[in-house]
């Protein structure tokens, strides 16, 4: 059985390896497990981050739904970890570019150090790396007000996925605007139907204002009055001129003329209604991320088609109904003179509903061919009514 001296030596060797990996740049990640402290089970992950171009170690402790994050200089982080390893946590794994080092403690706090081949080849991106190519400034005040970042502009660990979604959205819209007539429009009019907490509404308005040098008029339409009121308060606090939120149902909203219509995650046929709003308002760009498509699926059940062998399985039938629904919408948009792109908006690891339909008005679309393709698709799938088609006059 190892002596107390050997136990101390194993832990010291582990901490020395951590210190060396941080100093020479081979450190990738450190994880602590087998929590034996007070309260709910917790886990800790240490990664390297750059704060104001200075290397730091970020410790993220997760317990239940709570996450606590602290950033320390390497020496202070090692001192903090020394108290946690063998105390609250009985397992520690150091991932470096050269090797993996594991320190495991028994119930009697007897340590055992093992080394193995590296399982990671690259480190998670530092905060500096993560942001350098983004069109969204993490220091923007609205992000702090919305709870995405800390007051110093650091993205909260629990909000990384949301921040990436915001950045991806702005990137997509930036490309669509550059490919449309709006690139030369000084004061575009934007309507976001179902704006929710306003993450994307604020981001697009600020990008249009600061990065593109425009003076947009942006309206967020949200049925939840509390959310609309909160977003208006944030817009006022951040001095966002031309950005307002209205507490109103989308069907009761009189949009007037629109240049960009956004409708993300509008349920079922609400997506069709939003697209129709964009079409009748003369929008140059229509962007939607559909979800909860239920209109076409029941029609597939009552039709004998060449696809019957596929559609008799419930899960596969719903997936096909989703595809038919979104393809129908895309073809109807093309028939109205829009170039359509299908874009993966959110990584599938976060949600299966990750499709975005992005449409830009264009004179290069074969509208007649699109209408014929719609008719053939409807005949093949066996559906005879679709909300957007009916809204356009059948």
Instruction: Cite the beta strand spans of the chain per DSSP E.
Output: 27-35, 43-51, 54-63, 66-72, 89-96, 100-105, 111-116, 189-193, 217-222, 243-247, 260-267, 285-291, 338-344, 355-361
The fraction of the chain above a pLDDT of 90, given in percent, is 57
* Segment 202-229 mean pLDDT: 94
> What are the structure tokens assigned to 36, written together?
């034996």
User: Taking a C-beta distance cutoff of 8 angstroms, is the pair 197, 169 a contact?
Assistant: no
The confidence band for 125, taking pLDDT boundaries of 50, 70 and 90, is low
Query: Chain-wide mean pLDDT for the chain?
Result: 87
Find where tokens 């830009």 sit: 360
Q: Long-range CB contacts (< 8 A, 24+ apart) of 318-325?
A: 320/381, 321/293, 321/296, 321/297, 322/290, 322/293, 324/296, 324/300, 324/377, 324/381, 324/383, 325/290, 325/293, 325/295, 325/296, 325/386
* Spatial contact of 323 and 290, defined as CB atoms under 8 Å apart: no
Do 301 and 392 contact (CB within 8 A), yes or no?
Answer: no
* Contact present, 153 and 220 (Cβ < 8 Å): no
Asked if the model's pLDDT at residue 241 lies above 90, the reply is yes
Q: Which residue has the tokens 């060797």?
A: 13
Mean pLDDT for the stretch of residues 62-88 = 88
Pick from 270, 51, 84, 71: nearest CA to 153: 51
CA dihedral 266, 267, 268, 269 (to 10 degrees): -50
Percent of the chain with pLDDT over 70: 91
Question: According to the model, what pLDDT value does residue 214 have?
Answer: 95
The string of pLDDT tens digits covering residues 332-357 is: 999 999 999 999 876 434 444 578 99
* Domains along the chain with CATH numbers: 4-127 (no CATH), 133-388 (3.40.50.150)
Burial class (CB in 10 A: 0-12, 13-18, 19+), 248: middle
* CA distances, 8 to each of 113, 172, 329 (Å): 11, 54, 66
On whether the CB atoms of residues 187 and 215 are closer than 8 A, the answer is yes
Compute CA 161 distance to the chain's CA centroid, rounded to the nearest angstrom.
Answer: 5
Task: Report whether pLDDT(200) > 70.
Answer: yes
Cβ atoms of 90 and 41 closer than 8 Å: no
pTM across the whole model: 0.67
């Amino acid at each position: 059985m190892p002596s107390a001296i050997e136990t101390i030596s194993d832990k010291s060797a582990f901490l020395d390896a951590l210190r060396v990996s941080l100093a020479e740049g081979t450190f990738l990640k450190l994880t602590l497990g087998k929590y034996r402290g007070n309260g709910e089970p917790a886990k800790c992950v240490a990664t390297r981050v750059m704060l104001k171009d200075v290397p730091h170690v970020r410790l993220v402790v997760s317990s239940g739904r709570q996450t606590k994050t602290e950033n320390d200089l390497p020496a202070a982080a090692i001192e903090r970890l020394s108290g946690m390893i063998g105390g609250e946590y009985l397992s520690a794994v150091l991932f470096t570019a050269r090797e993996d080092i594991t320190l495991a403690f028994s119930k009697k706090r007897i340590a055992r150090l093992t080394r193995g081949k590296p399982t990671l080849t690259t480190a998670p991106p530092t905060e500096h790396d993560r942001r350098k190519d983004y069109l969204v400034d993490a220091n923007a005040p609205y992000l702090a007000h919305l709870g995405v970042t800390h007051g110093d502009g650091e993205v909260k660990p629990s909000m990384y996925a949301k921040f990436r979604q915001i950045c991806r959205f702005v990137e997509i819209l930036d490309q669509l605007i550059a490919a449309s007539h709006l690139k030369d429009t000084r004061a575009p009019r934007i309507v976001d139907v179902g704006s929710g907490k306003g993450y994307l509404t604020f981001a697009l308005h600020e990008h249009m204002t600061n990065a593109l040098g425009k003076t947009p008029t942006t309206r967020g339409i949200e049925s939840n009055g509390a959310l609309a009121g909160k977003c208006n308060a944030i817009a006022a606090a951040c001095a966002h001129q031309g950005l307002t939120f209205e507490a109103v149902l989308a069907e009761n909203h009189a949009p007037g003329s629109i240049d960009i219509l956004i409708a993300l995650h509008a349920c079922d046929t609400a997506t069709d209604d939003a697209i129709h709003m964009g079409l009748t308002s003369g929008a140059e760009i229509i962007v939607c991320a559909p979800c909860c498509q239920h209109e076409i699926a029941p029609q597939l059940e009552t039709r004998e088609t060449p696809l019957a062998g596929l559609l008799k399985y419930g899960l596969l039938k719903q997936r096909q109904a989703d595809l038919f629904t979104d393809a129908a919408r895309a073809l109807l948009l093309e028939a109205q003179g829009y170039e359509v792109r299908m874009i993966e908006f959110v990584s599938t690891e976060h949600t299966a509903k990750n499709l975005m339909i992005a449409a830009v008005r264009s004179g290069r679309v074969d509208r007649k061919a699109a209408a014929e393709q719609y008719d053939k698709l409807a005949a093949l799938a066996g559906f005879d009514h679709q909300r957007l088609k009916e809204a356009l006059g059948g």
